[in-house]
């Protein structure tokens, strides 16, 4: 499958690839049409969400939240995941980003979230990822090249940063955290999600593990370079952030019919704020 996907991107024009993908999504969305679950990105309802994630022993052994196989995870229509819908609900119900002028930096942007932000007239939006030309149809022409460990933007530029499941891929994550802190405005906030191992008090790293199979075995995914433990907030605080951990039920987001969004009940959001 990977071989077919790799070479189809070279043969199929970008515009046609987008149309084919969009057509497939419409068919899939119609097939799973129902009223049990709802996606706020595409605004469609479904009988079920699609499964997603890897079923690996380390996921259960370390109790990794945000990783592993989830049965009701991915929207059939727009492919948003449970963790993306969690971010949406926080932004919608706990911030003013949908109403106030906002400069937003989105690292490794999810297509469905990027489409939402680009339609918001109050948002000045920057989307970027390293090696953007290798990402195929997943990213459109509006996504720019950004190295999270060496961000080209000036200090104190953005009101909001979203960096969703990226840091676990970065070897020098402290440098990346420092750069995110630098470009964030004082009193701004960053949503910095990573998989969290609830069984680990301290983040586990071993830079000698470089094979895909080894990383799957020890980190829970072939392209991860660590497993973050309960000390993750302290790692963010070490570069200057003030970290708040927010959970929709424990912290009373007061969202009606929460079950319909098919969230991961164990997942919290890590909100990193830059003090004045």
Q: Residue 243: in which H helix or E strand, if any? A: strand 242-246
Predicted confidence at residue 90, as pLDDT, reads 97
Predicted confidence at residue 31, as pLDDT, reads 86
Which is more confidently placed, 67 or 49? Answer: 49
Written as one string, the DSSP assignment of 98-143 is: TTS-EEEEEES--HHHHHHHHH-TTEEEEEEETTGGGSGGGS-TT-
Give the mean pLDDT of 25-48.
91
Q: Kindly report, residue by residue over 158-211, the tens digit of the pLDDT.
A: 999 999 999 999 999 999 999 999 999 999 999 999 999 999 999 999 999 999
2 falls in which pLDDT band (50, 70, 90)? very low
Give the mean pLDDT of 32-50.
95
Report how far residue 106's alpha carbon sits from residue 157's, in angstroms, rounded to the nearest whole number: 13
Contacts of 10-19 spanning 24+ positions with Cβ under 8 A: 14/137, 14/141, 17/136, 17/137, 18/137, 18/140
Which is more confidently placed, 211 or 22? Answer: 211
Query: Of 138-142, 149-153, 199-203, which range is least confident?
Result: 138-142
270 phi/psi in degrees, rounded to 5 = -105, 105
Q: Which range among 20-24, 182-186, 252-256 has the greatest average pLDDT?
A: 182-186
Total-model pTM: 0.92
Q: Kindly report, residue by residue over 86-131, the tens digit of the pLDDT.
A: 999 999 999 999 999 999 999 999 989 999 999 999 999 999 998 8
Q: Residue 60: in which H helix or E strand, if any? A: helix 57-61
- The chain-wide mean pLDDT, for the chain, equals 91
Q: What percent of the chain has pLDDT over 70?
A: 89
1 falls in which pLDDT band (50, 70, 90)? very low
Q: In order of start, what are the domains of the chain with their CATH numbers?
A: 50-70+80-273 (3.40.50.150)
Which is more confidently placed, 2 or 220? Answer: 220
Q: Kindly report, residue by residue over 52-77, the tens digit of the pLDDT.
A: 988 899 999 999 999 888 999 999 99
10 falls in which pLDDT band (50, 70, 90)? low
Predicted confidence at residue 14, as pLDDT, reads 62
∠ Cα 144 90 39 (to 5°): 80
Predicted confidence at residue 18, as pLDDT, reads 67
Give the mean pLDDT of 13-35.
77
Predicted confidence at residue 26, as pLDDT, reads 79
């Amino acid at each position: 499958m990977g071989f077919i996907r790799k070479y189809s991107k070279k043969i199929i024009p970008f515009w046609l690839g987008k149309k084919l993908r969009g057509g497939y999504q419409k068919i899939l969305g119609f097939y799973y049409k129902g009223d049990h679950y709802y996606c706020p990105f595409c605004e469609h309802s479904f009988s079920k969400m699609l499964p997603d994630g890897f079923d690996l022993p380390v996921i259960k052994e370390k109790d990794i939240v945000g990783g592993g196989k989830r049965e009701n995870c991915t929207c059939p229509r727009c492919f948003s995941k449970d963790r993306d819908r969690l971010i949406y609900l926080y932004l919608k119900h706990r911030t003013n980003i949908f109403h106030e002028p906002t400069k937003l930096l989105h690292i490794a942007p999810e297509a469905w979230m990027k489409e939402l932000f680009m339609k918001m007239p109050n948002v000045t939006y920057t989307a970027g990822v390293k090696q953007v030309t290798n990402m195929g149809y997943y990213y459109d022409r509006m996504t720019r090249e950004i190295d999270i460990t060496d961000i080209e933007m000036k200090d104190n530029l953005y009101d909001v940063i979203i960096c969703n499941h990226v840091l676990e891929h970065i070897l020098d994550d402290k440098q990346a955290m420092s750069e995110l802190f630098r470009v964030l405005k004082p009193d701004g906030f960053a949503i910095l999600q990573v998989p969290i191992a609830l069984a680990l008090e301290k983040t586990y790293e071993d830079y000698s593990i470089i094979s895909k199979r080894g990383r799957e075995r020890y980190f829970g995914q072939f392209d991860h370079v660590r497993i973050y433990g309960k000390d993750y907030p302290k790692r963010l605080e070490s570069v200057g952030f003030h970290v708040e951990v927010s959970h929709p039920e424990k912290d009373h987001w007061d969202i009606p019919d929460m079950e319909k969004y098919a969230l991961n009940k164990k997942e919290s959001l890590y909100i990193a704020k830059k003090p004045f």
